């Protein structure tokens, strides 16, 4: 029993922290924009909800790779492992294209759901600069799934630590215009997350 609990903790805690680190990116944007302005905070919060809903669907397609990788790894099927990984990258790319399309339509979708036009426009201004991050984001999900399916849990966790620190730094620079950068406000938070 102790062995099973230790295995669950060894595998589960890094996976949980890696996922939490990814979710923290937009939480940091929201917190830092809260000090910048109420309308920017509202737009980022609404935009983040659209990002999470659509990203969860896209990530679900990519994470279909998990059992294939685990089965191939358990069977010591090197060719199956490579095929599953390549297939996962292909699904990540196609999902990123669909996610980019969804994010490009942020304003229209929010208006369809009855949001105020100005708030929908500002939320789109937060979401749309992040479109270029969809391929790296879902590629990271595929790589994480590949490693985790092989029982290698810690890299995803350790990657997210410097990424979140960079996001804090970039937010400080781009939202508020510190360090000689222009003050971008809401869009600055989007640029920070994209670069991170």
- What count of Cα atoms within 13 Å lies in the side-chain half-sphere of residue 22? 19
| Averaged pLDDT score across all residues of the chain | 93
Give the number of other Cβ atoms within 10 Å of residue 134's Cβ. 24
Length of the chain: 196
Query: Which pLDDT tens digit goes with each residue over 11-21?
Result: 888 888 888 88
Query: Which pLDDT tens digit goes with each residue over 145-172?
Result: 999 999 898 998 899 999 999 999 999 9
Are the beta carbons of 179 and 173 closer than 8 angstroms?
yes
Q: How far apart are CA 82 and CA 95, in angstroms?
A: 20
Q: How far apart are CA 31 and CA 48, in angstroms?
A: 12
Predicted pLDDT at 5: 87
- What count of Cα atoms within 13 Å lies in the side-chain half-sphere of residue 95? 25
């Amino acid at each position: 029993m102790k062995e099973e609990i230790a295995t669950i903790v060894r595998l589960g805690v890094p996976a949980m922290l890696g996922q939490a680190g990814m979710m923290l990116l937009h939480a940091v944007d929201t917190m830092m924009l809260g000090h910048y302005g109420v309308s920017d905070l509202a737009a980022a919060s609404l935009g983040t909800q659209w990002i999470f809903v659509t990203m969860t669907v896209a990530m679900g397609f990519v994470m279909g790779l998990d059992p294939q990788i685990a089965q191939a790894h358990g069977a010591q099927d090197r060719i199956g492992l490579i095929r599953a990984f390549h297939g996962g990258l292909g699904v990540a790319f196609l999902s990123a294209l669909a996610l980019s399309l969804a994010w490009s339509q942020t304003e229209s979708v929010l208006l369809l759901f009855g949001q105020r036009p100005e708030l929908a426009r500002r939320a789109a201004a937060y979401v749309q600069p992040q479109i270029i991050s969809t391929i790296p984001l879902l590629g990271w999900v595929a790589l994480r799934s590949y490693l985790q399916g092989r029982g290698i849990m810690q890299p995803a966790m350790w990657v997210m630590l410097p990424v979140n620190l960079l996001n804090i730094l970039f937010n400080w620079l781009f939202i508020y215009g510190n360090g000689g950068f222009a003050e971008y406000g809401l869009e600055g938070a989007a640029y920070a997350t994209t670069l991170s």
